[in-house]
Structure 1
Amino acid sequence: MWRTAVSVRFDLRGSALRAACVLAGGALVLTACTSNSESNAPDVAKVDVAKVDSIAAKVPADIKSSGKLVVGVNVPYQPNEYKDPSSGKIVGFDVDLMDAVGKVLGLGTDYKEADFEKIIPSIEAGTFNLGMSSFTDNKEREATADFVDYFSAGSQWAQQKGKSIDPNNACGKRVAVQRTTVQDTDEIPAKSKACVAAGKPEIQKVAYDEQSAAATALVQGQVDAMSADSPVTAYAIKQASDKIESAGPIFDSAPYGWPVKKSSPLSPVLQEAVQYLMDNGQYRKIAENWGVQEGAITKSVINGATS
């Protein structure tokens, strides 16, 4: 996910306003609401990952002795990371991939929930070894943390079924976003400014703390459109395909990366582990399990941002 100022550009997500929805047992239960949880998580046993001694030998000593990667995560952000209501465990594409990386390194994975904006400061403080919450790697963030890139995502809009919303000409429309995402801090403000400069009404940005609330607002017709990361929009549409659909193509693609403390020896180890999974096809299988293979990449790099 993405943001603007250095103090804010750490994420693409948050926590949320659940307007007309009722939270019960970790899942939103009103029919018209988009749930924060899913019970039909893919079976991770389908991807059998084994330790690779040559890579595991490079794990920093302190992490190796702990036997685990401590990972800061913010949920929900379907399908990348969210809680399964039946088990209460954090699941998702990001989770399955990080678990696989941990197995390559001979390590367990210990997911610690945190506010999105607190994850990178906690990495800097040594509380977490890394972050895993659909962070978009960009030059501004790279000044604060190193990023191990593992996926490519862009922004994509959704609209109510049968409606016609042009993301490049949405002046006067109400558009839902998740607070502190790049869509909130960069995309919609820039497009709204262009509307005003052209003598048209501004875009009415409606920001929510959780992505699920933004999707719910669109499903219920409280907004005209929603803008989010492409895999998130695709998942929201899958969950409510009878009510919402895509509005325009994916744009402004950029890499997702795992933030790691600047110059940490952990970064190249993570990069080598995920590259191993890419090369042997297991990474692709994990992506296909979650239906996000469109954003799968074939080469992991450290700090691969272009802007």
Structure 2
Amino acid sequence: MKHSSLVHALRACTLCAGIGLALSGPPAALAQIAATPLSEKIKATRTLVVGIESTYPPMAYKDPQSNKRIGVNVELVEIIAKELGVSVQWEEMSFEQLSPSLATGRIHMIGTAFTDLPSRREKLTFVDYLATGAQPFTTSGKKDSLKAAGDLCGKTVGVPRTTSYYPVTIAWSDKNCVGAGKAASTVNGTAGATATRLDLKQGRLDAAVLGPEYVSYLMNEEPGVYTLVGEPLNKTLFGFAFDKNEPALRDAVATAVTAAIKNGSYKQVLQKYGIGRQALAEVTVDAGN
């Protein structure tokens, strides 16, 4: 079919109403966007507006040399957009602004590292793409005495107090230490990931708990300084988040991530940033706990 004929056909179909003068480009690209179950607004602009907070390496952060936004989520969203036949418009914002911006329509999806929790699914729906959890770690000098999570009983453990890792670590101690007749872990709430790392390095903590993706980043940045203490205390999922009233966009993104898993680009991105062990074999929807 000639380009002009395809444009005429797209303008005539009910599904594609609203693309209008935005139609341009090669026939394959136009056919791709016409067949994708996106809202008419996204079809018209051929743009996916994505909210992101770029302060959490290796998921999304600024390259200290170029100040360019880089990271796992940045590259995965670009892959998703290519699969959908649209471009990405990034909206940089604080973590607290993400959900309200989705509710008001300022953004189409949350592309930052966002945990799929049941409490968040009252208003949001998720495409789960990465395994995560509360990962204990310590400095290499303590690796002989802190090998498994059970060794944290009776120890001082630092955890950012504003994250879900804090109540998870306390609950884990209550069940696995106190419940087993051992001394509880002393869980110190810290001011954040940077403060946690500093307290650990300066010996004020025996161990710390952060996301496994961030711990991997620290271990790559400072080789030989840190070591893992067993497996994560819990297992949950990061998900790309959408307004609950936009299941079509969610499903389109789920299909795009599935394609990335099958063609290998998903695994390549994770391995590039040192978190290949957190890969999922398949995409799930609203499966976090």
- Equivalent residue letter for 2:237: P
For residue 103 of structure 1, give the secondary structure of its aligned residue in structure 2: helix
Contact (CA 8 Å) 1:55, 1:269: kept in 2 or not? Answer: no
* Residue segments in structure 1 that go unaligned for 5+ positions in a row: 1-49
* Contact preservation (8 Å) 1:135, 1:257: yes
1:302 to 244, 261, 285: 285
For the pair shown, the structure with the greater C-alpha radius of gyration is: 2
Encode CA deviations 1:227-284: one digit per residue, 9 max, x unaligned.
Answer: 1122221221222232221111234222210110013021111111111111212212
Which position in structure 2 is the counterpart of 1:188? 169
Gaps of 5+ in 2: 1-27
Alignment match, 2:86: 107
The answer to whether the 8 A contact 1:55-1:272 is kept is no
Q: 1 or 2, which has the higher helix percentage?
A: 2
Counterpart CA distance in 2 for 1:304 and 1:199 is 33
Give the conservation status (yes or no) of the 8 Å contact 2:135–2:209: yes
Q: 1:282 aligns with which of 252, 257, 265?
A: 265
CA distance in 2 between counterparts of 1:220 and 1:133 reads: 30
The alpha-carbon distance between structure 1 residues 233 and 78, as it changes in their structure 2 partners (threshold 3 A), is: same
> For residues 174-200 of structure 1, what are the alpha-carbon distances to aligned partners after superposition, in whole Å with 9 as ceiling and x for unaligned?
32323432212x212224545667584
Please give the secondary structure, in 2, of the residue aligned with 1:259: strand
Cα distance in 1 for residues equivalent to 2:89 and 2:155:
42
Other-structure match for 1:246: 228
Q: 1:258 aligns with which of 223, 235, 240?
A: 240
Report the counterpart of residue 9 of structure 1 in structure 2: none
| Structure 1 residue runs of 4 or more that deviate by more than 4 Å after TM superposition | 50-53, 192-199
Aligned pair in 2 of structure 1 residues 202, 224: CA closer, same or farther (>3 Å)?
Answer: closer
Q: Do the aligned partners of residues 169 and 107 (structure 1) sit closer, same or farther apart at CA in structure 2, a change above 3 Å counting?
A: same
Q: SS at 1:205's partner residue? A: strand
CA distance in 2, matches of 1:171, 1:52: 59
Counterpart in 2 of 1:96? 75
1:132-176 per-residue CA deviation (whole Å, 9 max, x = no partner) reads 222121222212200011111232111011213353353453323
What displacement does 1:201 show? 5.6
Q: Does 1:170 pair with 2:140?
A: no
Q: 2:126 aligns with which of 141, 147, 158?
A: 147
Task: Answer yes or no: is the 8 Å Cα contact 1:63–1:69 preserved in 2.
Answer: yes
Q: Equivalent residue of 2:229, what SS?
A: strand
- Quote the RMSD (CA, aligned, Å): 2.5
Deviation at 1:51, TM superposition (A): 6.1
Q: Structure 2-normalised TM-score?
A: 0.78
SS where residue 237 of structure 2 aligns? Answer: strand
8 A Cα contact 2:33 2:43, kept in partner: no
Q: Which amino acid aligns with 1:233?
A: V
For the residues of structure 2 that align with 1:99 and 1:73, how far apart are their CA atoms?
13
Distance (whole Å) between structure 2 residues aligned to residue 192 and residue 205 of structure 1:
12
Bigger shift: 110-119 or 121-130?
Answer: 110-119
Per the TM alignment, residue 222 of structure 1 is displaced from its structure 2 partner at its CA by 3.4
Structure 2 CA distance for aligned equivalents of residues 207 and 266 of structure 1: 37
* Counterpart contact for 2:172–2:233, Cα < 8 Å: no
Q: Distance in 2 between matches of 1:160 and 1:72?
A: 35
CA contact (8 A) 1:69 1:108 kept: yes
In the alignment, the residues of structure 2 paired with residue 213 and residue 132 of structure 1 have an alpha-carbon distance, to the nearest angstrom, of: 25
Q: 1:51 to 1:235 in 2, by over 3 A?
A: farther
Aligned residues with identical type, % of pairs: 28
Aligned to 1:37: none
Q: Which secondary structure does the structure 2 equivalent of 1:242 belong to?
A: coil
Higher RCO, Cα 8 Å, sep 6+ = 1
In the alignment, does 2:218 pair up with 1:236? yes
Matches within 5 A, 1:39-188: 53-54=31-32, 57-163=36-142, 164-165=145-146, 166-184=148-166, 186-188=167-169
Does structure 2 retain, via aligned residues, the 8 Å contact 1:51–1:106?
A: yes
The number of residue pairs the alignment matches comes to 255
